Chain A
Amino acid sequence: MKEYKILNTRAPRVDANDKVTGKAKYTDDLAMPGMLYGAILHSPQAHAKIISIDTTAAENLTGVFAVITHKDAHKVSFGVSPARYDEYVLAREKVRYVGDEIAAVAAATPEVARQALDLIQVEFEELDPVFDARQAMAEGAPELHEKYQQNIVQQVHWHFGDVEAVRQKADIIRTDSLTSKMQDAAFMEPQCALANYDDRGYLTMYSSTQAPHYVQRTLAMALRIPLHKVRVVKPAVGGGFGPKASCSSMELITCLLAMKTGKPVKTTFDREQVFLHSRARHQFFHKMTTGVQKDGTLVFLEHECTLDGGAYCSFGIATVYYAGSLLGGPYRLENMKYDGYRVVTNKPACGAQRGHGAVIARALFEVQLDRIAEELNMDPIELRLKNVREAGETTCNELYLSSFGMKEALEAVRDSAAWKQKRKDQPRGKGIGAACGFFVSGAGYPIYNSATYHATVITKLSEVGGGVIVESGAADIGQGSDTMLAMITAEVLGIPLDDVKVISGDSDLAVDLGAYSSRTTLMAGAAAKEAAESVKRQILEVVAAKTGAACDDLDIQDAEIVWSKGDLDIDQIRHDHRLEHRNFSGIPLSGRLTFGEASRMAFLERGSIVGTGKYKPPVLGGSFKGAAVGTSPAFGCSAQVAEVTVDLETGEVTVNKITGAHDCGFAINRTQVEGQMEGSIMMGMGEALMEEIKFDDCGRILNANLAEYKIPTSLDVPPLEAIIIESNEPNGPFGAKEVGEGAIMPTIPAILNAIYDATNVRLDELPATPERIRAALRLKDKGK
């Protein structure tokens, strides 16, 4: 591998100090003169017609500047996929879940705003609600939206290869099912937006978002403002994991309040509202039938899935496609059938969450592979190794694997975790399990139909010399993309990381579709590389012209201009530079021409030196319906081994260790890759063992807070070993591809398989709480 100065190191994040000292500014830290506070009235009813809304008393309250209802908004629907726009800024005619937004207030203080909400009178006519996806599809079920027959938002019927033709070839055929629960992404920072609408008709919104670009488009469309007059800025963001990847009603409401009052308005969600707004992981009902030959060769997969997506479509179309398409890898599976149904119910809307659509499907398939291995009397890792694909192969649903370290990852965790020995020697109550995963490295297509670039970057030399400013639309939401952009730029330009400044997450700066589908390093990284290379060429051209050296013989190393033919004659340049900087510190007296001198000289010669870069994936995927979802310029893959102890009497699970290996192509920053792997594993562990949104009979969330919605605490998280696999992805910058989401894929099944190894019981319902495990153990004991 090529030697790098900056890339592949453990360089500290560019925002590390600001984050740990509390200096970083999040949206709620921002304030403007005369700013008002927004508050939202949420529906207490799961399904009801709105008969009337009386806002008089609220409007008359001192300190209230505006009260708005749907009457104050354009009748324009919005959502995520243009073909399924089904939301309005504020509910019109009816509410569809406990939490639906009905009215909003802007007031001088948050207290007054909240008080005003209590004064709004809403009269409802109750409608029968439906809370279960299977019931929602049944004949005669309450209808949520006129346009969704049987409450089905999207159906998928895929058939690759020919399952019927090969069914006879299978020696073993198994059918298994798995049900999960709706989840919350439990990011640290609740959503917040601050909007200002100025006298020239420009709308600026600061927001805790993952996707300034999509938010900008939605604001312009729903609020009827020219696109170029809408600016969305993303300050520091405390995590997103998917739910912040689309424009929310809260963002639209905040803008509407700002437009109506002519004052800046800020709205900050309570934790309760984070749960109500949701847009996190769907509830999945999976059923899979898999056929294999005696030697372990996979023959076919028949897969059915129903997704409970709550009241609106949100990302649902993509979710239901991903749930099927991402089983195309990482194994050689030529015959695959998939029937998926994305359904609406009277619960908070679900959307995308880390491992979009594919996590529970992966969990069931990997658990089923273990069951098959058991029937075949084969080691589960051997069974997987026998079937894994390699670089250069194409899956049955036409996903091309340009790099693929699946085998290496599996072997790495097997060896590092001492799999073979532990698999044999452990007593009942202790278990070890393995699983693989597969994920896109950036969605191949934007959410709306467009030939847009997915990422552009503008890199500028500071005119005073020595520094570089990178302008990008990319959204650093805590995953570290600013550091990635800085590292790539510094590497290309041969300068220290500290001399690169990144400004990002602002729709005025450049285009970036956002931090979702694990796309930023590959796409924005590629654009940053191109922009930096352009800047570098421009400097070297100026140096070449000034010194008579050939441009191709020049390079920048350690912030100095290096000429492969010897020492450049720079006396005059240096003399001029020193004259210009009399009394300045750090001006070179001897040695090679510095980057500072050269970049200043480039400005003096040519004016501002700007380089641009852009990225757009090539045309990808097959021609079948829905082929676009699941396509990507590259695919990440990973393997994990989980070790657990199960208390057989209580059902409590202690995860003792997880060893993970992930193929990220090339680690731009090793610490950040490991961080993503560790974060993914913790999140997967929570989903496997404890996370579950619970509802009462009226559709209200029983645990809309982080005390009752359980995620792992630091005492629950075991030692994690993260092994980086580098397969050198040809389509990624410096060989890099994703790690942000793929690394969550194996966690749930690895833990479930380890629980089985410890207990001999299988669960078909997640999360695997002590009570569910104990119930399964009890059933098994009775069976004996």
Chain B
Amino acid sequence: MLPQFDIIQPRSLDEACEALTKYQSAGVVVLAGGTDLLVDMRKPLIPEHLPRCKGCDPRTGTAPRKVNKPPSYLIALSRIPEMSGIAVSEPGEISIGAMTTITDLCQSRIIREKLTALAQGADNLGSPLVRNRGTIGGNICNARPAADTFIPAVALGAKLELRSQRGLRLIPAQDFAVGPGKTVREEDEILTKIIFPVSADRTGSSCIKLANRKALEIAVVSAASLLTLDIKGKISSARIALGAVAPTPILTPKAAAFLSGKDPSDANFLKAGEIAVSECHPISDHRGSLDYRREMVSVLVSRSLAAAFASIIV
């Protein structure tokens, strides 16, 4: 059952920023598609933690969750036209409004061509119903370590534009999350758009998700890779991002550095996968054990590199 709250529906970003500042003290959060927020606001019948409960192991996820006071106001962003849409903002840049739905990402030709990993991440998210409501901004702001569009955004080198009455700032996607559900976003800031550098020629990307069933899943491990070749066909740069193996999405710089200047061969992709294992720090939880996750990092990284390579149109 949902607690009671009021909804505010601003028609412009300015109005939204104003409202977000104004209601801070009363308790306010931003509402995008609501597929995370409204689910999280429901109060479970059995409390997450009992003070006097014996033998509770904080590592297995039974530690108390931070209990937020339910907000008194939700600011719905759905009526702000400038917040959704996919545009080639400048040469070499694609800008995606934070309110763009996951379905829109799946259906966009330019995203599938130029930002393949993001399109694949979007394909992997939830189910058609969830994709129709859920937004890329919500997925990133919610900052789960397995978020399906966040991982490719990190691999693709996206920047996030945050706006408040105090001004504008740009944050690299890999610096945005600081822990599960925690970000550097200040409470009065709104994520307005996600800006992707459009890949150079001879570039390909891919995103792979491993889970226990074929839809409606939180990744056990996910990996997204971006690969650029030089004119001789050697790897000129690589970026690899991983999901669900650390408190936030992470990059694996060592594995990427290893690839630089090398042949895009299966052997090198395998080796990069092995290096990536040393760069992640997964936990065991009810979705997967630490050992399995580590093993899968190696498999998924090498597969996503191979897929990124295969997607390059020379």
A45 & B45 in contact (Cβ 8 Å cutoff): no
Check A771 against B288 for contact (C-beta < 8 Å).
Answer: yes
CB distance from A317 to the nearest CB of B (A): 29
A696 in contact with B288 given A710-B213, A713-B215 (CB within 8 Å): no
B91: chain A residues within 8 A (beta carbon): none
Cα(A230)–Cα(B53), bound, Å: 42
Q: Is A465 an interface residue (CB 8 A)?
A: no
Whether A650 and B296, one on each chain, are in contact in the complex, defined by CB atoms closer than 8 angstroms, is yes
Task: Please determine whether B50 and A769 come into contact, CB atoms closer than 8 angstroms.
Answer: no
Q: CB-defined interface of B32-46 with A at 8 Å, one 1/0 digit per residue?
A: 000000000000111
Q: Does residue A110 face the partner (Cβ distance < 8 Å to B)?
A: yes
- Cα–Cα, bound, A690→B148 (Å): 21
Residue of B nearest to A775 (CB): B292
Q: Which residue of A lies closest to B54 (CB)?
A: A126
Tell me whether B216 and A713 are in contact (CB under 8 A). Answer: yes
- The distance in angstroms between the C-alpha atoms of A708 and B212, with both chains bound, is 10
Closest to A703 in B: B286
With beta carbons under 8 angstroms apart, the residue of B52, B60, B210, B300 that contacts A697 is B60
The listed residue (B45, B52, B292) touching A276 by CB distance below 8 A is B45
B61, A110: Cβ atoms under 8 Å? Answer: no
State A770–B296 Cα separation when bound (angstroms): 10
Taking CB as reference atom, which chain A residue is nearest B48?
A: A700
Tell me if A774 and B62 are in contact (CB < 8 A).
Answer: no
Contact B56 A42 (CB under 8 A): no
User: Any chain A CB within 8 A of the CB of B313?
Assistant: no
Closest chain B residue, CB of each to CB of A713: B215
Q: Which of B1, B50, B55, B217 contacts A44 (CB 8 A)?
A: B50
B18 contact set on A, CB distance < 8 A = none
- CB-CB under 8 A from A775, the residues of chain B are 292
The answer on a CB contact under 8 Å between B214 and A715 is yes
With contacts A44-B47, A44-B50, A98-B46 known, is A698 near B55, CB below 8 A?
yes
In the bound assembly, the distance between CA atoms of A276 and B44 in angstroms comes to 12
Known contacts A697-B56, A771-B288, A99 near B213 by CB under 8 Å: no
In the bound complex, CA of A649 to CA of B298 (Å): 10
Known contacts A44-B47, A110-B1, A272-B46: does B57 contact A697 (CB below 8 Å)?
A: yes
- CB interface residues, A 691-714, toward B, < 8 Å: 694, 696-698, 700-704, 707-708, 710, 712-714
Residues of A within 8 A of B54 (CB): 126, 698
B12 in contact (CB, < 8 A): no
Instruction: Mark out the residues of chain B between 53 and 98 whose CB falls within 8 Å of any chain A CB in the assembled complex.
Output: 53-57, 60-62
Contact yes or no, A111 B212, CB < 8 A: no
Please count how many residues in chain B sit with their CB below 8 Å of the partner chain's CB atoms. 34
Chain A nearest CB from B277 CB (Å) reads 14
Is A81 engaged at the interface, CB distance under 8 Å to the other chain?
no
Which residues of chain A (101-129) have a CB below 8 Å from chain B?
Answer: 110-111, 114, 126
CA A703 to CA B41, docked complex, whole Å: 17
Interface residues in B195-236 by Cβ distance below 8 A to A read 210, 212-218, 220
Query: Of A126, A690, A704, A769, which one neighbours B52 at CB under 8 angstroms?
Result: A126
Are A713 and B45 within 8 A (Cβ)?
A: no
Given that A126-B54, A703-B286, A712-B213 are known contacts, is A270 also in contact with B292, CB under 8 Å in the complex?
no
Q: Which residue of B lies closest to A48 (CB)?
A: B52
Say how far A754's CB is from chain B's closest CB, in angstroms: 18
Any chain A CB within 8 A of the CB of B283? no
Which residue of A99, A126, A276, A715 is within 8 Å of B215 (Cβ)?
Answer: A715
Closest residue of B by beta carbon distance from A698: B53
Q: Is A721 an interface residue when CB atoms closer than 8 A count as contact?
A: no
Contact B1 A111 (CB under 8 A): yes
A764 at the interface (CB under 8 A from B): no
Check: A652 CB closer than 8 A to any chain B CB.
yes
Give the residue name and chain of the B residue nearest to A41 (CB). B45
Pair A702/B289 contact, Cβ less than 8 Å? no
B299 interfacial by beta-carbon distance below 8 Å: yes
CA A516 to CA B248, docked complex, whole Å: 48
Q: How far is the CA of A272 from the CA of B218 in the complex (A)?
A: 19
Contacts of B47 in A (CB 8 A): 44
Interface presence of A273 (CB below 8 A): yes
A707 near B46 with CB under 8 A, answer: no
Tell me the nearest residue of chain A to B127, going by C-beta: A713
Q: Are B55 and A697 in contact (CB under 8 A)?
A: yes
On chain B, the residues within 8 Å of A690 by CB distance are 212-213
Q: B113 at interface (Cβ–Cβ under 8 A)?
A: no
Q: Does B295 contact A (CB under 8 A)?
A: yes
Q: Does A498 contact B (CB under 8 A)?
A: no
Tell me which residues across on chain A come within 8 A of B214, comparing CB atoms.
713, 715-716
Inter-subunit contact A696/B212 (CB<8 Å): no
Residue of A273, A652, A689, A771 most packed against chain B (CB within 10 A): A771
Residues in chain A near residue B289, CB distance under 8 A:
771
B295-A698 in contact (CB<8A)? no
User: Closest chain B residue to A772 by CB distance?
Assistant: B292
B280-300 to A contact mask, C-beta < 8 Å, 1/0:
000000101100100110011
Interface residues of A in 155-184 (CB under 8 A from B): none
A44 B46 Cβ-Cβ under 8 A: yes
Q: How many chain A residues touch B (Cβ–Cβ < 8 Å)?
A: 41
Give the residues in chain A near B215, CB-CB below 8 Å: 713-716
Q: Are A696 and B213 in contact (CB under 8 A)?
A: no
Q: Cβ of B286 and Cβ of A770 under 8 Å apart?
A: no
Q: Cβ of B295 and Cβ of A273 under 8 Å apart?
A: no
B180 CB to nearest A CB, Å: 16
Cβ of B301 to closest chain A Cβ, rounded Å: 12
Residue pair A702, B61 in contact (C-beta under 8 Å): yes
A696 and B46: CB pair below 8 A? no
* Complex-state Cα separation, A98 to B56, whole angstroms: 14
- Point out the residue from B45, B212, B288 that lies within 8 Å of A272, measured CB to CB: B45
Name the B residues within 8 Å of A99 (CB-CB).
46
Give the shortest distance, in Å, between A602 (CB) and chain B (any CB).
Answer: 54
**Shortest distance in angstroms between B147's beta carbon and chain A's nearest beta carbon?**
15
Q: Bound complex: CA of A782 vs CA of B50, how far in Å?
A: 43
Q: Is the CB of B45 within 8 A of A698?
A: no
- Residues of chain A with a CB closer than 8 A to B56's CB: 696-698
Q: Mark A755-784, 1 if CB is under 8 A from B, else 0.
A: 000000000000001110011001000000
Pick the contact of A698: B1, B50, B296 (CB < 8 A). B50
Write out, one digit per residue, whether chain A residues 731-775 have a CB within 8 A of any chain B CB (1) or not (0).
000000000000000000000000000000000000001110011
Residues of B close to A770: CB separation below 8 A = 210, 212, 220
How many whole Å from B34's CB to the nearest CB in chain A?
15
Give the complex CA separation of A771 and B61 in angstroms. 19
A715-B128 Cα distance, complex, nearest whole Å? 12
- Within the assembled complex, what's the spacing in Å between the Cα atoms of A708 and B286? 10
| A716 and B213 contact, CB distance less than 8 A | yes
| C-alpha spacing A514/B18, complex, angstroms | 61
Q: Are A702 and B295 in contact (CB under 8 A)?
A: no
Query: Which residue of B has the minimal Cβ distance to A272?
Result: B45
Interface contact B1-A114, CB-CB below 8 Å = yes
* Cβ contacts under 8 Å, A44 to chain B: 46-47, 50
Q: Which residues of A contact B61 (CB under 8 A)?
A: 696, 702
Closest Cβ of chain B: how far from A645's Cβ, in Å? 12
Residue of B nearest to A707 (CB): B216
Q: B9-41 vs A: 1/0 string, CB under 8 Å? A: 000000000000000000000000000000000
* Residues in chain B near residue A707, CB distance under 8 A: 216
The 6 closest A-B pairs by CB, nearest first: A715-B214, A696-B62, A713-B215, A771-B292, A694-B286, A715-B215
A-B contact pairs, 27 of them (CB 8 A): A44-B47, A98-B46, A111-B1, A273-B45, A652-B210, A689-B212, A696-B57, A696-B61, A696-B62, A698-B50, A698-B54, A698-B56, A700-B62, A701-B46, A702-B61, A703-B286, A707-B216, A713-B216, A714-B215, A715-B215, A716-B214, A770-B212, A771-B220, A771-B288, A771-B292, A774-B296, A778-B295
Question: B residues near A, CB below 8 A?
Answer: 1, 4, 44-47, 50, 52-57, 60-62, 127, 210, 212-218, 220, 286, 288-289, 292, 295-296, 299-300
Further contacts, 14 of them, CB under 8 A, given A276-B46, A770-B212: A44-B50, A111-B4, A114-B1, A126-B54, A272-B46, A696-B56, A697-B56, A698-B62, A702-B286, A716-B215, A770-B210, A771-B220, A771-B289, A774-B295
